[in-house]
Structure 1
Amino acid sequence: MSPRIIALLLACLISALTVAFLTFVEGVTNAMLFVVGISSFVVSFFLVLYAIELLVFREVNKMYKTIHKLKIRDFTISRKTIIKNTNPFKKLNDEIFVYVAKKQKEIDELKRLEQFRREFLADVSHELKTPIFAAQGFIHTLIDGAVDDENVRDKFLAKAAKSLDGLDALVKDLVALSQLETGEVKMNFDRVDLRHVTQDIFEQLEKITHTKRISLQLKAAHIGPILVKADPQRIAQVMTNLIENAVKYGNEDGRVLVALEDDKKQVVVSVRDDGPGIPPEHLSRIFERFYRVEKSRSKDRGGTGLGLAIVKHILNAHKAKITVMSKLEKGTTFRFKLEKVD
């Protein structure tokens, strides 16, 4: 029934009871009974209608609207409005909304993590399968008789060793990434000379840069040591990953520029290449585990697909944020800041 019908029935009942009681009072005329009956009916009708309409039906309708909002995931209600509200039905309505909204967000997060877990397991399986199957194939070929041919034996053993080295690197990176994510790896902060670290990496990459005819250049804010507060081993790992990636994905006859610039109490580190660049739709995902912009070409260049994920976690532990800017056919720049020390 609608609120008006309920109010009408209750008002009639109250008016009838009031008139019935007054008939037993001496001296009450019919005119007085009529006035009292009409008055009690009108007052009762509007009071009951107001109570039902505002305190019950309106709030029940809001609950239905709340359910509808939850279905479309419109979590726009403010917690302050719940605290300030004195209407118990409205408070109940809003509390239910907030509670269910929170649970819905938790469910969405669990679904996201489950999807991430499935993708991660699929990626790990794929990455592990490739070197294992390759090494298996070479070894079984040797077992089947190729071991008697010295040239074939040496060639296949070298390829099997290379596949197992790749598997070893992948496992080490997985362990390192897992330890970084769980906080098991503690940073040992010390004074680190970024100029010295960069020059050491340049020397380590001399062979590959010579093959691709890529020049490595260091641009520093001043002559002499550039000291920052960092974990020496981990920050060297960050710089190696970034510079090596710039060399691998840069163009032949190109240039990789490492810039160390002062920014008040910090040193801004940037690694720039002049390669093909990264498409805009991939920029937000390149720090994910195993994410590759071009999987086929990335495989040819080697690597485990975990380098940038490790870089991000190491810099997070240094309370630093890494950013990336890229333009197609113009190159890519990775940038982060570290605390400067005297």
Structure 2
Amino acid sequence: MSLSPRFIALILALLIAGLTITFLAFVPGTNGNMLFVVGTSSFLLSFFLVLYTIDILVYREITKLYDAIRKLKVRDFSISRKSILKTGNPFKKLNDEIFVYVARKQKEIDELKKMEQFRREFLADVSHELKTPIFAAQGFIHTLIDGAVDDEFVRDKFLAKAARSLDGLDALVQDLVALSQLETGELKMHFDRLDIRQIIDEIFEQLESLANARQTTLKIKTTYLGPVWVKADRQRITQVMTNLIQNAIKYGNENGKVVVSLEEDGKKHIQVTVKDDGPGIPPEHLSRIFERFYRVEKSRSKEQGGTGLGLAIVKHILNAHKTKITVTSRLEKGTEFRFKLDKEG
């Protein structure tokens, strides 16, 4: 028979009752009825007292401790410290304290593992991204050194390619520095009252040649007849809008349309939306597009240019504006980025 609480209580109760009867049997004047009553009473009292002590105070808490260990194995950390303070049971307190402590340490371990994995991926991505323009420029320059410099046509062509590679390297380093400063809080925002509509018009002018090359129509959609005043950092919001609009042009369909909407969201915010009618982003990629160097289609992204840091920078700039960017996308229907800015009257 297994050592269940009832079995242990039964054995101990029989022993206590037996010892009690044996002791009373040597007392003068004790008859059989008295021994029966005392024996039965001591047995029942001992049985229930021992059963309660073992089952409630020990076995149940040990079972809970086992369940806590099982939960930790499957990463189920559903327990609050308030429940520990409400109980007076020392076994339960010990059980819950162990669970909370181990859960906290397990979370720390998981976080460290994620950070380690992130660090490895980041170093691999940075190494790859730096290697490409460096090797390209190096190849062109060494070709010139080996004698191609005497050919004027080849010299000009290779120097132009080397310059483009170095320009790409410079852009990558600048984006890495900006992203690092944004993440550490070193890059401070300078909030001013600005007309977001004017900024968008200026970006449309800057990207006009790119839009014409892809025969893409650029349009602002808003109910405001005049300026749309918001409170933001002009340089950084310009960077955000340039990145989103440029991506919409690059990765949208040719002969497509990019629409930037400015809508009032309550009394305190302006909602900014950048929408294209391109091929869309597959659902499995949506949660990762704001990661550094993450590309949905790596080969196509390389052809289109860019450092792979644009959306990561956008996310951090908007976080510094106390707002978040969201993205929705439907295949063959297009992609839509949306965020809010504080309205400035």
Q: TM-score by structure 2 length?
A: 0.92
SS in 1 for 2:230: strand
Tell me the equivalent position of 1:135.
137
1:291-332 CA distance string (max 9 Å, x none): 111110110010001111111111111112212222222222
Distance (Å, rounded) in 2 between the aligned partners of 1:18 and 1:280: 75
Matching residue's letter, 2:299: S
Q: Give 1:105-144 correspondences, 5 Å limit.
A: 105-144=107-146
Matching residue's letter, 2:107: K
1:183-222 CA distance string (max 9 Å, x none): 1111110011112211111121122222222222222322
Q: Which moved more, 1:267-276 or 1:79-88?
A: 79-88
Match of 2:171 among 157, 169, 172: 169
Match of 2:264 among 251, 262, 265: 262
Tell me the equivalent position of 1:243.
245
Tell me the equivalent position of 1:331.
334
Tell me the equivalent position of 2:70.
68
SS in 2 for 1:305: coil
SS in 2 for 1:53: helix
SS in 2 for 1:285: coil
Q: Give 1:251-330 correspondences, 5 Å limit.
A: 251-263=253-265, 264-330=267-333
Distance (Å, rounded) in 2 between the aligned partners of 1:241 and 1:319: 19
Question: CA, structure 1 residues 60+136, in 2 after alignment: closer, same or farther (shift >3 Å)?
Answer: same
Aligned-pair CA distance for 1:158: 0.7
Tell me the equivalent position of 2:186.
184
Question: CA, structure 1 residues 72+261, in 2 after alignment: closer, same or farther (shift >3 Å)?
Answer: closer
Question: CA, structure 1 residues 128+46, in 2 after alignment: closer, same or farther (shift >3 Å)?
Answer: same
Matching residue's letter, 1:321: K
Distance (Å, rounded) in 2 between the aligned partners of 1:8 and 1:336: 69
Q: Which moved more, 1:97-106 or 1:121-130?
A: 97-106
Aligned-pair CA distance for 1:101: 1.8
Distance (Å, rounded) in 2 between the aligned partners of 1:20 and 1:276: 92
Q: Which moved more, 1:319-328 or 1:303-312?
A: 319-328
Question: CA, structure 1 residues 145+284, in 2 after alignment: closer, same or farther (shift >3 Å)?
Answer: same
SS in 1 for 2:254: coil
Q: Which moved more, 1:200-209 or 1:173-182?
A: 200-209
Which ranges in structure 2 are unaligned for 5 or more consecutive residues? none
Aligned-pair CA distance for 1:76: 2.8
Distance (Å, rounded) in 1 between the aligned partners of 2:108 and 2:259: 44
Tell me the equivalent position of 1:228.
230
Question: CA, structure 1 residues 273+44, in 2 after alignment: closer, same or farther (shift >3 Å)?
Answer: closer
Aligned-pair CA distance for 1:227: 1.2
Aligned-pair CA distance for 1:26: 4.2
SS in 2 for 1:10: helix
Q: TM-score by structure 1 length?
A: 0.93
SS in 2 for 1:74: coil
Tell me the equivalent position of 1:155.
157
Q: Give 1:29-40 correspondences, 5 Å limit.
A: 29-40=31-42
Tell me the equivalent position of 1:14.
16
Matching residue's letter, 2:262: L
| Residue correspondences, number | 342
Question: CA, structure 1 residues 29+325, in 2 after alignment: closer, same or farther (shift >3 Å)?
Answer: closer
Distance (Å, rounded) in 1 between the aligned partners of 2:221 and 2:31: 108
Aligned-pair CA distance for 1:139: 0.9
Matching residue's letter, 1:95: E
Identity %: 74
Matching residue's letter, 1:160: A
Distance (Å, rounded) in 1 between the aligned partners of 2:235 and 2:101: 46
